[in-house]
Amino acid sequence: MEDFQEKRKFFRVDLINDIPATAKISSINNRKVEVEKTFPIAILDLSTGGIYAFIPVDIPVNIVIIDIMFTFENEEFSFNALIIRKTPKDDGFEYGMKFLFHSQKDESRITRCLNQYKIKHTRFMKIQLDLRKQKYIGCFVKGLELIEEPAYLITSRRIVVATNKAAQDSGVKLGERCYSTVAKRHHACPFCLLEDAKKADHLLETNAVIREQSCKARWLYLEDHYMIHYFTRKEGLKDE
């Protein structure tokens, strides 16, 4: 919980769509690197303090600073960022990066654009679904109500698009990442099996701890990048 609260001191938004960007290495171990070659990255989350992004190449943490260039809310940005963490994925890595602002103006500009984005994507507008998808999701809502525990319909990007009443009563918010609105975390839960669930044709489950409560976490992949996700209290498990 402490880590989550620490991260929340920066204003942050969950992006509905990834932001395409380009980057190049700027320095290694505080030594300037003259490299013109750029590589593509996909910004998954954006805050006033930094970004969480997918990059198809392996880069060391805590010693590499990269230049990132992207467009957000019709404005062009070019920031230095220090890579501070990474998570291996099937076809690359997801990196947490801290912005190294050169002026207060840069920080103020990204904050203003984040506010604009947040206003345009309120709780009721975050999930930009056409009528077909709304009807499609509606087919699964009744199924969620058959589950006694709080249950959610999430996308492959972990965005909650529907819940049962138990989840609504617990305060889970539509349009937010499951790890954020359910577990109060800044990044995906360490026990998450979402990537495995996308490849499975059956229910997956594992032991988990959510808000200091031991439970079983379950995922059932449906189709079109949607899956049912819920937790059940498991007798015999000790809280960690």
What does the pLDDT read at residue 208?
92
184-238 residue pLDDT tens: 887 889 999 998 998 898 999 999 998 888 999 999 998 778 899 999 976 544 4
Give the residue-averaged pLDDT of 47-54.
91
Cα–Cα distance measured from residue 47 to residue 101, given in angstroms and rounded to the nearest whole number: 13
Spatial contact of 22 and 39, defined as CB atoms under 8 Å apart: yes
What does the pLDDT read at residue 134?
63
Class of domain 131-233: alpha beta
Instruction: Compute CA 228 distance to the chain's CA centroid, rounded to the nearest angstrom.
Output: 17
15-44 residue pLDDT tens: 777 899 999 999 999 999 888 889 999 998
Domain ranges of the chain: 2-120, 131-233
| The CATH fold of domain 2-120 | Thrombin, subunit H (2.40.10)
121-164 residue pLDDT tens: 655 444 555 555 566 666 777 788 889 899 999 988 888 888 99
What does the pLDDT read at residue 2?
37
59-116 residue pLDDT tens: 999 999 999 999 999 999 999 999 999 988 878 899 999 999 878 888 899 999 998 8
Banded model confidence at residue 239, pLDDT cuts 50, 70, 90: very low
User: In terms of C-beta density within 10 A (0-12 exposed, 13-18 middle, 19 or more buried), how is residue 185 classed?
Assistant: buried
User: In terms of C-beta density within 10 A (0-12 exposed, 13-18 middle, 19 or more buried), how is residue 4 classed?
Assistant: middle
Region of 29 (left: φ > 0; alpha: ψ -120 to 50; beta: rest) is left
Share the mean pLDDT of the chain.
84
Instruction: Compute CA 173 distance to the chain's CA centroid, rounded to the nearest angstrom.
Output: 14
What does the pLDDT read at residue 101?
82
Cα–Cα distance measured from residue 124 to residue 137, given in angstroms and rounded to the nearest whole number: 15
Cα–Cα distance measured from residue 211 to residue 178, given in angstroms and rounded to the nearest whole number: 13
What does the pLDDT read at residue 212?
83
What does the pLDDT read at residue 9?
57
Q: What is the value of pTM for the model shown?
A: 0.62
What does the pLDDT read at residue 176?
84
What does the pLDDT read at residue 133?
59
What does the pLDDT read at residue 107?
87
